Amino acid sequence: MTLSPTSTSASYAAFFTRDHAAARAPSLPSRWNLIGAMLGIATQLWFMPFWGRLTIFGLFVLALWGYAIGSFVHAHFVLPRRGLEVRLSPRMTNVLVTGGAGFLGAHVAAALVKRGESVVVLDDLSGGLAEQVPEGATFVRGSILDDALVESLFAAHRFEVVYHLAAYAAEGLSPFIRRYNYENNVVGSMTVLNAAIRHHTRRFVFTSSIAVYGTGELPLRETHTPHPGDPYGIAKYAVELDLAAATHQFGIEHVIFRPHNVYGELQSMRDRYRNVVGIFLNQIMRGEPLTIFGNGEQTRAFTYVSDIAPSIAESGFIQLGAERIFNVGGDVHCSVNELAQTLLRVTGGASIIRHVEARNEVTHAYSDHSRIQRVFEMSTNKTSLEEGLRQTWLWAKAQGVQQAPVFSNIEILRGLPPSWTR
Ligand SMILES: NC(=O)c1ccc[n+]([C@@H]2O[C@H](COP(=O)([O-])OP(=O)(O)OC[C@H]3O[C@@H](n4cnc5c(N)ncnc54)[C@H](O)[C@@H]3O)[C@@H](O)[C@H]2O)c1
C-alpha cells in the first residue's frame, strides 16, 4: 500500500500518540509537534511568492508534515535524554507475567494489555484467581516450578520481557514454611530465569520487596546494604543477587522493584497470613474485631496499587541507566492502629480493635522513593490512604465475605502465633 504524505503523517501522529502515552511522556501534542506544524505553515507562507498561490490543502499537508517531524524530534532527541523510549515499530512485544492472576500481577498485566503488548500470564492460582487475569491476556494455568511448562512457553512465545511476580509473599509466615518459601520464591524464580536466559529474553523485571532491608536505617534507601531478617526477605535478596550475576554473565537486563504494603482492588482477602488491609476488610464485613499484633504502633507506608502498577509495566520498555533497583510505594507512613481507625471511618464499620500477642516483625518500615521519582519522572504517591481505602472498600463490598483457610502444610509449629492456628 502506498501512503500519501498526509496519511503517512497521520499514521505517525497516531502511533506516536499511543506510544508517548504509554511511556508516560507528556501527552501529544507536545511543543515539538506544535513547533513542527508552525514551521510547516511558515514554510508554505515563506515560499508563497515563488509558488504563486496559497491553498488550504497545501497548508494542511505541510502542517501535518511539520507535526510528524516534531514527533520524530521528540521521540529521538528529547525523550531519550530523559530516559524515556518510544519504539519505532508498532509491533506488539511478547511479554510474560508470572503471578498475573494475583493482585499486583493482574494490575501489571492489565497495564501491559492497555499498552498494546501481547501478554501471557502464567499462574498456578495458589493465591490468584483466573477471573482476575485481564481481558486480552492469554492465561496459562501452571506453576513456575514446572520446568517443562515454562520452557515450552518460552519456546512458543520468545518473550522479550518477563515480569516475574509469582511468589508466596507471606513474610510473617515464611519462618514457619521455610522450605516452601525457598522452593516457590527462589527455585521457582530460577526456573523462569533459566528459560529467560536460554531464550535471550531482553529484560527481566522482578518484584522483590522492602523485606530485603530487614531492620535497616529509615528511610530505607536502595544504597543501603540489605540485611533481610526472615526467609521471605532472604529469598527475595537471593533472587536479586542472582539477577545481577545473570546480567553480568549473560547480558540479560534486569529491573528490580522493592514494593511495600500494597493494597487496592483485587487484593486477596482470602489469606489470613498477609495483606493487613485485606484481612481488616474481611473482618469488617464479618462484623469481627480487627486483630492487630502487639500494640499496633508499628508503622508502615501503604501503597495504592494503581499508583505503582503502571511504572512496573513501563519498566520493561524504558531506557535505564546503571540504576536497576527501585523502591516503589507510598511515602506517607502511619501506624497499624491509625490504619485500622481510617478503615473503620471510611467503611463506617462498627468493629472493635483487638490487640493479640506480638509477633516477630520489623517495627518500622518505610522507604525513600526519590530514585524512582527521578528516573521514571513520576510520583508513586498520588492517592491518599483515605481515598485508596475508599476505592478498595467499594471493590471489597462487591466481593463479599471471603473464606481465609489455614495454610495446609506448615512446616514448623514452634513459635507460630496462636491466632494463626485457629
Ligand atoms: N502486595 C505487596 O504488598 C507486595 C509487597 C512487596 C512485594 N510484593 C511482591 O509482588 C509480587 C506479587 O504480590 P501480590 O501481593 O500480588 O501477591 P498475590 O498472592 O496476589 O500474587 C502472587 C501470584 O503468584 C501466584 N503464584 C504463587 N506461586 C506460584 C507458582 N509456583 N507458580 C505460578 N504462580 C504462582 C499466585 O497464584 C498469585 O496469583 C510478589 O512477588 C510479592 O512478593 C508484593
Does 195 map to a domain? yes
Q: What is the pLDDT of residue 51?
A: 65
* Cell 500481577, residue located: 105
Same domain, 261 and 155: yes
Does 88 map to a domain? no
- Greatest alpha-carbon pair distance for the chain in Å reads 93
The number of the ligand 1 atom at minimal distance from the alpha carbon of 129 is 39
207 C-beta closer than 6 A to ligand 1: yes
The number of the ligand 1 atom at minimal distance from the alpha carbon of 127 is 37
- In this prediction the pTM is 0.82
For range 62-67, the mean pLDDT: 76
Same domain, 230 and 375: yes
CA of 51 to the centre of ligand 1 (A): 65
Q: Please name the amino acid found at residue 219.
A: P
Q: What is the pLDDT of residue 4?
A: 29
Same domain, 333 and 245: yes
- CATH at residue 204: 3.40.50.720
Number of other residues whose CB lies within 10 A of the CB of residue 354: 12
pLDDT in tens, 412-421: 999 999 889 8
Q: Please report, to the nearest 10 degrees, the dihedral formed by the alpha carbons of residues 404, 136, 379, 324 taken in order.
A: 90
Please name the residues in contact with 219: beta carbons below 8 A apart, sequence gap of 6 or more.
366, 367, 368
Same domain, 194 and 77: no
87 versus 216: the higher-pLDDT residue is 216
Name the residue range of residue 21's domain.
5-82
Same domain, 36 and 158: no
Does 28 map to a domain? yes
CA of 329 to the centre of ligand 1 (A): 16
Of 17, 49, 82, the residue that ends a domain is: 82
Does 59 map to a domain? yes
Same domain, 77 and 118: no
Same domain, 21 and 156: no
Q: Which residue owns the Cα nearest ligand 1 atom 23?
A: 99
Of 14, 47, 82, the residue that ends a domain is: 82
Domains contained in the chain, number: 2
145 C-beta closer than 6 A to ligand 1: yes
Does 97 map to a domain? no
Same domain, 262 and 400: yes
Same domain, 64 and 176: no
Comparing 129-143, 152-166, 294-308, 408-422, the range with the smallest average pLDDT is 408-422
Q: What is the pLDDT of residue 421?
A: 81
pLDDT band for 365, please (50, 70, 90 cuts).
very high
Does 91 map to a domain? no
Q: What is the pLDDT of residue 67?
A: 75
For range 15-37, the mean pLDDT: 48
Same domain, 56 and 136: no
pLDDT in tens, 167-212: 999 999 999 999 999 999 999 999 999 999 999 999 999 999 999 9
For range 314-326, the mean pLDDT: 95
Does 258 map to a domain? yes
Same domain, 65 and 111: no
pLDDT in tens, 257-307: 999 999 999 999 999 999 999 999 999 999 999 999 999 999 999 999 999
Structure-block grid coordinates of residue 74: 521528540
Does 94 map to a domain? no
Same domain, 114 and 77: no
